[in-house]
Structure 1
Amino acid sequence: MEQTFLMIKPDAVRRGLIGRIISRLESKGFHMVAGKFIVLPEDLVEKHYQEHEGRPYYQDLISFMTSGPVFAMVWEGDDIVNLARLMMGPTDPEKAAPGTIRGDFATRMNRNVIHGSDSLKSAEREIRLFFSEDELVRK
């Protein structure tokens, strides 16, 4: 059983989309094993997005991700990393098909409502950044 890290971003939280996004993941048969509503400190956002440092959009990304609360989550399911990414759709909402989370809810590239780990390795790193082992609920 795989785990992945997903985070509902400030734009989606402001728009009241947490429940609708979670409902889609639950309907697919995935299980949330941790979740927290948090305003991210800048140092955590910088660690999370370290691979983007130096890119033209980096400062805007940091400002956006610290602009309001997010809902950080750990989800569990078979092949969840790949399937969750399919459900989210491409990072660019203009390329995201209707029926995907970004296709239905995102408004522009740097305001794309949700983050999802892109690999099992990334998922492990991101889960450790945001959650301690005792915050994960085991069956």
Structure 2
Amino acid sequence: MFSRTARRVASVARRSVRAVRSNARPLASRVASRGVRTIVSKAPRTVRVAAKPKMAWRKWAAGAAVVGGAVATMALENKVVQAAEIPTGGVPGTNNERTFIAIKPDGVERGLIGKIIERFERKGFKLVGMKFLTPSEKDARGHYDDLKKKPFFGSLVSYFASGPIVAMVWEGKGVIKTGRVLLGATNPADSAPGTIRGDLCVDIGRNIIHGSDSPEAAQHEITFWFRAHEVSDWTPSNAKWVYEKP
């Protein structure tokens, strides 16, 4: 009885090894980062330097086949292929580029939240993160850290921390540059009609909105205000009408 069982186990192990050898590569390419490729690449060092490497490999590969094969089978049967997660700060130069936009206290107090959000949505950009909060002066200093040597830094910090803001992450092709165009010039007097500042404010000290001015600034500001789980990766139903398929 024992010998028969042993022979069955050995037979299963041999079939598993053959399955790993024949299917590891194609399965790995279908199962993102958790497929057989990851398992094989992380084979224990003791397996690689064992006195009898061939036998050790067979024993280890039999176990790998069970785990890797199960993962691959579930993924293929359910037709689920996990794409790599988009970094919190986005991917500049792609449709997944992201920018940080903040409606400042004066914009909130004047009831302009909906009008400002509408501008970005009408353009075709996607909202992937939003918070309503009152920043502390420490938060404001961290946000405007690149301006700390400017003479107006103190008043800017006080203004930004004087009331609630709406912090947002917007995603889309060219959203950093285009977002700045939608905002208008820092000084509303220099902003063209049709821009947010050109239409909705008059004083540089109350210019209602902030937007990242570079990929580096967007990365800093998004990760300063948002944790990874607070930014959503999602695809709106109208995406095919915003972007042409490549």
Alignment TM-score > 0.5, same fold: yes
One-letter identity of the residue aligned with 2:134: V
2:176 maps to 81
Q: Displacement, 1:66?
A: 0.8
Instruction: Determine if the alignment matches structure 1 residue 15 to structure 2 residue 126.
Output: no
| Structure with the larger RCO, 1 or 2 (CA within 8 Å, 6+ apart) | 1
1:2-44 CA distances to partner (integer Å, 9 max, x unpaired)? 0000000000100000000000100000010000000001111
Q: Displacement, 1:107?
A: 2.2
Q: Displacement, 1:110?
A: 1.6
Q: Which runs of 5+ in 2 are unaligned?
A: 1-95, 235-246
Instruction: Determine if the alignment matches structure 1 residue 102 to structure 2 residue 197.
Output: yes
TM-score by length of 2: 0.56
- CA-based RMSD: 0.7
**1:110 partner SS:** helix
The one of 25, 28, 31 aligned to 2:123: 28
2:243 maps to none
Runs ≥4 residues deviating over 6 A? none
1:44 maps to 139
Q: Which runs of 5+ in 1 are unaligned?
A: none
Give the Cα separation in 2 of the matches to 1:137 and 1:51: 27
**2:102 partner SS:** strand
The one of 122, 135, 139 aligned to 2:217: 122
TM-score by length of 1: 0.97
Larger-Rg structure: 2
1:132 maps to 227
